[in-house]
């Protein structure tokens, strides 16, 4: 609906559909429909709950007139006597309280069940959506923002929606019952009382808009706090190393203070509402008392009716207040809902529309006039042409920021090309199913992500159905044997979040083992050893050499030996292929980029290192 084709950036506060109630309710329908029976039951339970308020007030009249004042009243030819009522009313009160309590429990139970179910179902669907969204979405939206839309908004929406509806039904029936009691006792007084109470709606509606604005801002700040917190987590070493603790602290402190200010401004604005409403109501009650006195004196009203009336009027104040509050809440619910469904509506850019399963051997890989940009601002790759045959090793070299990583990230379609095409076996990679395409590629990056879990679990992510023998083989080939043997729990050793308990070389070798066990015909190595010291680099390089055996390899490397052994070296600078050829060929080019690079970086490295 609201998807902007040019950007996937979510708005921090709002979405365009926040006021399109009909649309939002329609979107909610699939979540509400399966629970219809329970929802209706909850509503039906809310009706007697509301009416019970009226019954208590209603009973006061016969109690006072008959029991206290000793009058006899007849209902339908049946005369109520003092003795009968004085016996029946006290246990009656207990009975009604018991019934009300039971209904309330059932009602709360049902309402919580329904709202949790709805919010769980929304979250499940939403996560399925999120996990399939493409890299660009994650590039453009901060974690805090997405987390608040994923975790907070569905809860808020579902819980408040059900609770408000439940409260509205209860308040409405309660008000109806009480108004009936008022009318029954004295229609003149009822007219005055209800009119005055009705006036209390006025300040409520005035406040609604302001409350909405503040609550939106609170959500934004909440998201910012989450983002900062996530950064504190993943950036803790940078923060410590650069002594940025105070910086982070001040940032978060400011946000926390902002939350405080926002919430206090809400309280400041909304806090006077209830006392003010009560003040208005007190005018009504005062007037009713004054006028009621006259009616009693003139014999137009019994004392019982009067007591019953005043009780009803006081009781009526609560449902009216609830109605007002919940009507205000409902606006927030729609804002939350609109944020949730906006996230739902993001279509991943990477369309999985290919029909063919890529199962055959990949004989050729070709970049044909490929241009690419991450965003509208600038094109990152210009007119890339490159042909690779099965089993070849292609080494990319060039200045940092030249576009090497971008080129290889196009192969598994982390991003799609803007112009031109990438062909596997002379067929556009978009014609293959995404899963089968990605199954043909293993990647090892400079920073590899290690999931929470054991070493074994992390390796098995490459291939869940690997046999024990296969696992053993990759552990050997990835030079992990000694490391695993040194761990108390061996391969079942638990790894700390983000691999914090491992060295860079260990993480790389686990990542290599993961890539090996996937056994994909194409291997992408993006500076897989550049973050390592010389010693661990060597071990990781042995592991990589095993991974590269008999594969088609795209390697971005800074080591001469890797480059030297490549079938083709491609120099990429400023998004263009400047030169391509073998080591010898490229060295021959007078003033060539590779030759310059070689003289500056590689010349002193020993090729025999491996
Ligand atoms: N996710 C991204 N979003 C926007 N721009 C990016 C992104 N990743 C890389 N770039 C930009 O694309 C250009 C090429 O980057 P990259 O391919 O990583 O270079 P290299 O790997 O050669 O160092 C750089 O200008 C970089 O700023
Ligand atoms: Mg790079």
Query: pLDDT tens across 289-299, in order?
Result: 888 888 888 88
Report the nearest-CA residue for atom 16 of ligand 1: 403
Tell me the HSE value of 142 on the side-chain side, using a 13 A CA sphere.
Answer: 17
**Looking at ligand 1, which atom is closest to the CA of residue 526?**
21
Ligand positioned closest to the Cα atom of 397: 1
The mean per-residue pLDDT over the stretch 310-317 comes to 86
Report the nearest-CA residue for atom 12 of ligand 1: 380
The mean per-residue pLDDT over the stretch 347-362 comes to 89
Backbone angles phi, psi at 576, to 5 degrees: -125, 150
pLDDT digits (tens, 9 = 90+) for 472-529: 999 988 888 889 999 889 999 998 877 778 888 889 889 999 999 999 999 999 988 8
Tell me the HSE value of 302 on the side-chain side, using a 13 A CA sphere.
Answer: 18
- Taking CA atoms, 488 is separated from 457, 470, 478, 510, 511, in Å, by 16, 22, 20, 17, 21
Confidence of residue 536 (pLDDT cuts 50, 70, 90): confident
Q: What's the CA gap between 181 and 581, in Å, rounded?
A: 95
Tokens, residue 539: 């071990």
Confidence of residue 140 (pLDDT cuts 50, 70, 90): confident
Q: Which of 401, 530, 556 to mutate to test the pocket of ligand 1 (most atoms within 8 A of CB)?
A: 401
Which residues lie with the beta carbon below 6 Å from any ligand 1 atom?
A: 139, 374-375, 380, 398, 400-406
Give pLDDT, residue 551. Answer: 93
Residue 284 CA to ligand 2 center (angstroms) comes to 74
pLDDT higher than threshold 60 for residue 2: no
The mean per-residue pLDDT over the stretch 133-138 comes to 89
Sheet of strand 552-556: strand arrangement = 441-444, 522-526, 552-556, 393-397, 568-573, 576-581
pLDDT higher than threshold 80 for residue 271: no
Report the nearest-CA residue for atom 7 of ligand 1: 374
**Looking at ligand 1, which atom is closest to the CA of residue 135?**
1
Report the nearest-CA residue for atom 3 of ligand 1: 374
Give pLDDT, residue 15. Answer: 56
Q: Which of 398, 402, 443, 576 to mutate to test the pocket of ligand 1 (most atoms within 8 A of CB)?
A: 402
Give pLDDT, residue 607. Answer: 52
Ligand positioned closest to the Cα atom of 572: 1
Report the nearest-CA residue for atom 10 of ligand 1: 374
Q: Higher model confidence: residue 56 or residue 576?
A: 576
Give pLDDT, residue 372. Answer: 96
Q: What's the CA gap between 562 and 542, in Å, rounded?
A: 11
**Looking at ligand 1, which atom is closest to the CA of residue 406?**
17
Count of CB atoms situated within 10 Å of the CB of 293:
12
Q: Which residues of 243-255 are buried (b: 16+ CB within 10 A; e: fewer)?
A: ebeeebeebbeeb
Q: Higher model confidence: residue 30 or residue 231?
A: 30
Give pLDDT, residue 92. Answer: 85
Report the nearest-CA residue for atom 14 of ligand 1: 403
Ligand positioned closest to the Cα atom of 400: 1
Give pLDDT, residue 364. Answer: 96
**Looking at ligand 1, which atom is closest to the CA of residue 407?**
17
Is residue 453 within 8 Å of residue 495, measured between CB atoms?
A: yes
Alpha-carbon Rg for the chain, nearest whole angstrom, is 36
Tokens, residue 170: 């209860």
Q: What's the CA gap between 495 and 502, in Å, rounded?
A: 8
User: Which range among 13-27, 68-82, 125-139 shows the weakest confidence by mean pLDDT?
Assistant: 13-27
**Looking at ligand 1, which atom is closest to the CA of residue 556?**
21
pLDDT higher than threshold 50 for residue 1: no
pLDDT digits (tens, 9 = 90+) for 9-55: 666 555 566 667 788 888 889 999 999 999 889 888 888 888 888 88
Count of CB atoms situated within 10 Å of the CB of 241:
9
Burial class (CB in 10 A: 0-12, 13-18, 19+), 599: exposed
Count of CB atoms situated within 10 Å of the CB of 283:
12
Give 597's contacts (C-beta < 8 A, 6+ positions apart): 397, 398, 571
Give pLDDT, residue 369. Answer: 96
pLDDT digits (tens, 9 = 90+) for 392-443: 999 999 988 999 999 999 999 999 999 999 999 999 999 999 999 999 999 9
Is residue 262 within 8 Å of residue 217, measured between CB atoms?
A: yes
Q: Which of 378, 405, 572 to mutate to test the pocket of ligand 1 (most atoms within 8 A of CB)?
A: 405
For each of the domains in the chain, give its residue range(s) and CATH number, in order of start: 16-345 (1.20.1560.10), 449-519 (3.40.50.300)
Residue 418 CA to ligand 1 center (angstroms) comes to 15
pLDDT digits (tens, 9 = 90+) for 363-399: 999 999 999 999 888 899 999 999 999 999 999 999 8
Give pLDDT, residue 8. Answer: 61
Q: What's the CA gap between 589 and 566, in Å, rounded?
A: 18
Size of the chain in residues: 610
Q: Which of 139, 380, 410, 593 to mutate to test the pocket of ligand 1 (most atoms within 8 A of CB)?
A: 380
**Looking at ligand 1, which atom is closest to the CA of residue 399?**
22
Kindly report the pTM of this predicted structure: 0.76
């Amino acid at each position: 609906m609201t998807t902007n084709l040019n950007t996937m950036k979510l708005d921090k506060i709002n979405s365009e559909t926040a006021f399109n109630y009909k649309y939002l309710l329609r979107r909610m329908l699939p979540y509400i429909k399966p629970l219809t029976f329970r929802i209706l039951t909850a509503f039906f339970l809310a009706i007697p709950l509301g009416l019970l308020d009226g019954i208590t007030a209603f009973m006061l009249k016969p109690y006072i007139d008959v029991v206290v004042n000793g009058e006899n009243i007849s209902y339908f030819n049946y005369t109520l006597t003092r003795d009968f009522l004085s016996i029946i009313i006290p246990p009656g009160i207990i009975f009604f309280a018991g019934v009300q309590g039971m209904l309330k429990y059932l009602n709360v139970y049902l309402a919580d069940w329904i709202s949790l179910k709805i919010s769980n179902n929304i979250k499940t669907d939403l996560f399925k959506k999120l996990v399939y969204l493409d890299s660009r979405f994650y590039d453009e939206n901060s974690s805090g923002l997405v987390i608040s839309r994923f975790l907070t908004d569905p809860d808020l929406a579902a819980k408040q929606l059900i609770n408000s509806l439940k409260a509205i039904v209860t308040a409405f029936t309660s008000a109806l019952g009480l108004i009936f009691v008022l009318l029954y006792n004295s229609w003149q007084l009822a007219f005055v009382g209800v009119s005055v109470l009705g006036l209390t709606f006025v300040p409520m509606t005035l406040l609604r808009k302001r409350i909405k604005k503040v609550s939106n801002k609170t959500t934004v700040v909440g998201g910012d706090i989450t983002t900062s917190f996530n950064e504190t987590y993943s950036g803790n070493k940078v923060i410590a190393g650069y002594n940025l603790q105070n910086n982070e602290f001040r940032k978060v402190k400011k946000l926390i203070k902002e939350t405080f200010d926002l919430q206090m401004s809400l309280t400041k604005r909304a806090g006077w509402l209830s006392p003010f409403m009560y003040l208005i109501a007190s005018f009504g009650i005062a007037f009713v008392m004054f006028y009621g006195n006259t009616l009693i004196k003139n014999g137009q009203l019994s004392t019982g009716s009067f007591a019953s009336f005043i009780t009803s009027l006081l009781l009526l104040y609560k449902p009216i207040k609830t109605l007002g509050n919940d009507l205000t809440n409902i606006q927030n619910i729609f804002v939350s809902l609109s944020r949730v469904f906006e996230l739902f509506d993001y279509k991943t850019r990477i369309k999985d529309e290919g029909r063919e399963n890529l199962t055959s051997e990949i004989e050729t890989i070709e970049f044909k006039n490929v241009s690419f940009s991450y965003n509208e601002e600038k094109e990152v790759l210009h007119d890339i042409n490159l042909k690779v045959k099965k089993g070849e090793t292609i080494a990319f070299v060039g200045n940092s920021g030249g576009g090497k990583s971008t080129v290889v990230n196009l192969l598994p379609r982390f991003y799609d090309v803007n112009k031109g095409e990438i062909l596997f076996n002379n067929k556009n990679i978009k014609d293959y199913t995404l899963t089968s395409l990605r199954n043909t590629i293993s990647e090892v990056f400079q920073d590899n992500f290690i999931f929470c879990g054991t070493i074994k679990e992390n390796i098995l992510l490459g291939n869940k159905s690997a046999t024990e023998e296969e696992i053993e083989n990759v552990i050997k080939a990835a030079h992990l044997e000694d490391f695993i043997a040194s761990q108390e729990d061996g391969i079942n050793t638990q790894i700390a979040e983000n691999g914090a308990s491992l060295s860079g070389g260990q993480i790389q070798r686990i990542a290599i083992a993961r890539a090996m066990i996937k056994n994909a015909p194409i291997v992408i190595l993006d500076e897989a050893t550049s973050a390592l010291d010389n010693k661990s680099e060597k071990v990781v390089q042995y592991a990589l050499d095993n991974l590269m055996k008999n594969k088609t390899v795209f390697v971005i490397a800074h080591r001469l030996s890797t480059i030297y052994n490549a079938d083709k070296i491609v120099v990429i600078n400023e998004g263009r292929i400047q030169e391509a050829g073998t080591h010898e060929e490229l060295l021959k080019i007078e003033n060539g980029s590779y030759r310059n690079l070689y003289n500056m970086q590689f010349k002193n490295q020993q090729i025999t290192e491996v």
